[in-house]
A and B are shown apart, each in its own frame.
Chain A
């Protein structure tokens, strides 16, 4: 069965770029009509959809983050990546990657999450 695993720096300085990678195992990242997704959760708060990338490379982003977000996919490595630039303390959160079955919020499975702290 498909498993997802986030990786990347746990500490990022304010104004710099947050970069995370999600590695997909147990299935092909380029098969099916899935949307490979990033979601985040600040401590003690709810879930926020960041955006997704389709296997063919097309993307869709949360309007509130669109100007700072890039999500890309590397099918040869079975990975997809998140870049969030000009970060502030408000971007401190646990970042999850997930597979979306229809692009509409049907997320399964999820990665275990990666805590990213933005320091000043």
Chain B
């Protein structure tokens, strides 16, 4: 059971916009930044969003992050087949004194 809660799956058609949620509590998302990772099949995770809404260099602006209260969201617009991957959120947890992950969301492009 992950500390951060994500839907196990999401889907969309090419060109659509998809949003993936990440729900936590006041001890993690409520007080700390959220980071998002993309894991393409058979590869290591890659940083997609840091500090809740910042994109690293090279990440397309189709990817955006937001945070409100104890929840965060990753939005992917203009969905492409290459976006098929697992997506994970992560944040520091003040109670556990450690970073925690969401369980991951598998995105399927139909």
A46–B46 Cα distance when bound, in Å, is 14
The answer to the question of B90 belonging to the interface, with a C-beta cut-off of 8 Å to chain A, is: yes
A47–B103 Cα distance when bound, in Å, is 7
17 A-B contacts (beta carbon < 8 Å): A46-B101, A47-B45, A47-B90, A49-B90, A49-B98, A49-B101, A104-B91, A104-B92, A105-B90, A105-B99, A107-B35, A107-B47, A108-B47, A110-B44, A110-B45, A110-B46, A112-B44
Q: A46-B103, A49-B100 are in contact. Are A105 and B92 (CB under 8 A)?
A: yes
Question: In the complex, which residue of chain A has the Cβ closest to the Cβ of B50?
Answer: A106
Interchain CB contact under 8 A, A96 and B44: yes
Interchain CB contact under 8 A, A107 and B45: yes
**A104 partner residues in chain B, CB cutoff 8 A:** 32-33, 91-92, 99
With beta carbons under 8 angstroms apart, the residue of A46, A100, A112 that contacts B99 is A100
The answer to the question of A23 belonging to the interface, with a C-beta cut-off of 8 Å to chain B, is: no
Residue of A96, A104, A107, A111 contacting most chain B CB atoms (<10 Å): A104
Q: Which residues of B contact A (CB under 8 A)?
A: 2, 32-33, 35, 37, 43-47, 50-51, 56, 88, 90-92, 96-104
A120 to chain B, nearest CB (A): 27
Told that A60-B97, A63-B97, A106-B33 touch, could you supply 4 new A-B pairs with CB distance under 8 A? A62-B98, A105-B100, A107-B37, A108-B46
**A47 partner residues in chain B, CB cutoff 8 A:** 37, 45, 88, 90, 101, 104
A29 to chain B, nearest CB (A): 19
B9 to chain A, nearest CB (A): 13
**A113 partner residues in chain B, CB cutoff 8 A:** 44
Q: A47-B101, A49-B99 are in contact. Are A103 and B47 (CB under 8 A)?
A: no
The answer to the question of A74 belonging to the interface, with a C-beta cut-off of 8 Å to chain B, is: no
Residue of B37, B43, B45, B99 contacting most chain A CB atoms (<10 Å): B99
Interchain CB contact under 8 A, B47 and A106: yes
